[in-house]
Structure 1
C-alpha cells in the first residue's frame, strides 16, 4: 500500500503526463509561466486538460498541506490577506500596463513608481511579494516584467489613455482587472468583519442584505449593497462591479452559458427572460449564438443604462432589431413576462438568504406557463467528504482518486470563496444541490437536470427545473 505522499505524487505525475500529451498532440510544448499568453492557451480549456489540471492542483495543495509543518502551513494561510491587498495596489497603479509598454527588457521599480506616481520603496515591497507568488517576474534585482499570470488583468490600454479617462479604465476589457478591484476593495473590507458579525448577538442570525458584514464595514445604514452602489460617490464602483461580473464570466470559457441547456432546441421566437441579468453578459452570448431567440434583460434602472451601453458596443444589431431588450424590473415584484419560454437566473439566488430566494422563485412560478423552463446558474457547494448519490441526471460527480478530498479540496476552493463572499455582501450563501432542490420544490419547481461546468462540478453549473403544482401549506 503506497503512502499518502506517494499516492499524491502518482496523481501529479499522471496529470502532468496527460497535460503534456495534449499539448504535444497539437505540436506544442506546455508554456512556461514566464511566457505571455498565446493562442496555444486554448488547449488548456479542453475537457481532458481541465480534468487533469484539477487533479494536479488538488494533489499539489494536499501534498503541501501534508508535508509542511502545521504551524508553517497555518501562518502561510493566515498572512494570505496581503495577497489581495498587493494585487489591488498593482492593478490600481497600472503596473501591468506600464510593464507592457516597457517590453521584454522590463523596468526598474523606481521608473515604474515614477510613472505610477507612488513611493518606489513601498512599490518594491508589493512587487517583490507578488513575484514571490509567481505574479510578475523579477528578471534582475528590482527589475520586473509581466508574465503569464500578471498579464491576465491587462486592460490593453496605454497608461496615457487610462490617465485621461480613469473612470473608463475597465470599459471594453475582459473584466478581470475590475474583478480584482471589486474583490480587493469592497469584498476585502467586508471580509474583515466576518468574525465580529458572526459572533455578535445582534447580527449572529441576521439574514437581511441591509445588515451584512460589508454594510457594517462601510458604516452604511440606508439600504443594501445595491443602494450603496447607487450613491453618487460610488458611480465608479457601480460601473466597475458591472464589468467585474464579466470578469467572473471570463473565469469560464466565453461560451459557457451555451453549454448544457439546449438553447438551439427552443422554437423560433422563444422568449428568454434574463432575470436580474445585469449588463446582459449571458443574453448577449445567447443572442449572438442563437439569433432565432429573443432575450429580455431585467435589472435595476442604473444597471440597465450601463447594460444598454455595453450591448451597443458588442452587439448593436441585437438592440436595433429587438432581439435583446433591457427592461427595468425588481424581481421581488410580480413578473410582467407571462409568456416566457425560459427564465434565466444567473448568479442571482446566491445573493439572497432563503426567505428572499423563496419569494423570487414564487414570483417566477406565478408568471410561468406549464411549459416554462427555469435555468439557474449558480455555484453548487460540494462537501469535502463523500455525499449520498442523487437521482437527478448530471448531479453526481465521479469520485476522485484516493487520497484526494471528494470536492478536490483547494482545486475547487473558488466555490467556497464565493460562498463566504455572499455572506459578506448579503448575509446570503452558495448552496448545496440538496439545499437548492428543497427551495425549488417548495415553490413549485422540480429539478430535472444538472449540467456541470467542469469535473470539479461546483463552479457555475446549470440547474434546470420545470413547473410542478405548488405545495399547499397546511
Structure 2
C-alpha cells in the first residue's frame, strides 16, 4: 500500500474485515476464534470468508513489521519457536495431562522424565506463542493449540518431522552452499551436514521405522488441507479424449491420486508406478478391480518408461523433489514411450512472478522452496523455469498451459509431446 497513512489503512482493513468475519460466524452459530480448548482445530468456511481471513492475517503481518521497524522486526523473528515446540512433541508434553484438566510444572516434569527447571523454561517459552497457558502461577493448562497435538496425531507427527528433520537441515543450508557451491546433488545439502552422513534424507528415513512412520504421517497431514485436494486437478484440467484413455501415475505411491482420478472419470484406466518396495503392499480398491481400471507396476522413474502409448503421464509432487539436473532425467526417461500428442501432466507448485502477491501471500510457497533446497537440493519453479525445464529436456515438448485453480496450492502444468511416435 503506497500511502503516507499506511498503518491507518492497514488497521482499518483489519477492523472492517474482522467485523465481516465475526458477523458470518455469529449469524451461523459458529465459534469465534479463541485459544479455549473448545475451539476446533480447523473450521471449514466458505471461500469468501476464507479470503477475508487471509486479508486480515496479511494486513496484520504487514502492520506488525511496520510497527516493529527494521531492527525490531529482524530481532523478533521467532527462530527459537520450533525449539520449544520440538521439545513438547519429542517428550509428549501435551499428553502428560488431559486437555480438560490442569497440571503443574513438577507433575509434567515427572510424567515426561524431565527436570522441573527445563519443563518450566520450555513451557513458558511456548506460552508466549499461545501453546499452553499458565492461568495462575505454577499451574499449566492446555490451549486450543496444545490440545490439537493431542487430538490430531498426524499434526503432532508434522511438528516432529519439521523439528527433527527440516529445522536441523535449515541451520546448515548456508554451510552446505559453501562446501558444495552450485551443486545439484541431493546429498549435498544442509541435511547431510546436520546428520553427519552422505545419504539422502529419504534413504535414511526408509531404514528407520520410527522416522519413516513420522514422515508418512507428516505428509498425510500436510496434504490433508483443501489447498492440496486432488479435486482441483479433477475439476479444472481439460481431460478431453484422455478421459477414456490410459493414465500413468509416475511415482504415484500407494495410488491415492490415481484412485480419485479413476473414480472421477468412469472410463479412464490408470497404472500407478513406484519402486518395488512401495507397490508391493499396494491394494486396488474393490470398485476399481473390474476391467483393470487400476493396477500397480514396479518402476524407477530414472529408467526408461516401459508403458508405451499412454495418453497422460502424471507426475504429482515428483519434479519439485529434484534439482533441474535430475528433473530433466525424469522427463527424458519418458520420451521412449511417448506417442504424438501424449500429455505430461504435472501437479506441483508454480511460483508467482515478483510483485504480484503480497509478501505474506507468497511466503508459503517460498518457504516450501527453501525446504526443498535444505533437504534435497531441489526446488519449486516459476512459469519461466517450468518452460525452460521442458525445453531443455527436449524441444519437442511444448508447454501447453499452466493453470492455478482458486484455492489450490498446486498448479496444473501440462506439456504436450509434439514429436513423432516414440512409443
TM range (shorter): 0.7 to 0.9
Residues 1:137 and 2:141 are matched in the alignment:
no
DSSP-derived class of the 1:335 partner: coil
Gap regions ≥5 residues in structure 1: 157-172, 387-405
* Cα distance in 2 for residues equivalent to 1:151 and 1:301: 39
| Deviation at residue 333 of structure 1 after TM alignment | 0.8
Higher deviation after alignment, 117-126 or 424-433: 117-126
**Aligned pairs for 1:56-205 within 5 A:** 56-77=56-77, 80-99=78-97, 102-154=98-150, 173=153, 175-200=154-179, 203-205=180-182
CA change 1:149–1:332 in 2 (3 A) is same
* Cα distance in 2 for residues equivalent to 1:305 and 1:86: 39
| Deviation at residue 249 of structure 1 after TM alignment | 0.3
* Cα distance in 2 for residues equivalent to 1:204 and 1:361: 25
Gap regions ≥5 residues in structure 2: none
| Deviation at residue 436 of structure 1 after TM alignment | 1.1
2:196 counterpart residue number: 219
Identify which of 280, 286, 304 aligns with 1:317.
286
Length, aligned pairs only: 412
Under a length normalisation based on structure 1, what TM-score does the superposition of the two structures give?
0.77
Higher deviation after alignment, 287-296 or 236-245: 287-296
1:170 counterpart residue number: none
Identify which of 204, 226, 229 aligns with 1:228.
204
DSSP-derived class of the 2:30 partner: coil
* Cα distance in 1 for residues equivalent to 2:277 and 2:325: 26
CA change 1:422–1:90 in 2 (3 A) is same
Residues 1:343 and 2:320 are matched in the alignment:
no
CA deviations over 1:330-351 (Å, ceiling 9, x no partner): 1111122224343222221111
Larger relative contact order (C-alpha < 8 A, sep ≥ 6)?
A: 1
* Cα distance in 1 for residues equivalent to 2:340 and 2:38: 51
1:451 counterpart residue number: 404
* Cα distance in 2 for residues equivalent to 1:4 and 1:320: 60
Residues 1:329 and 2:329 are matched in the alignment:
no
CA change 1:380–1:199 in 2 (3 A) is same
Under a length normalisation based on structure 2, what TM-score does the superposition of the two structures give?
0.86
CA change 1:241–1:300 in 2 (3 A) is farther
Residues 1:241 and 2:218 are matched in the alignment:
no
2:232 counterpart residue number: 259
| Deviation at residue 42 of structure 1 after TM alignment | 1.3
Contact 1:261–1:451 at 8 Å: present in 2 too? no
Higher deviation after alignment, 120-129 or 281-290: 281-290
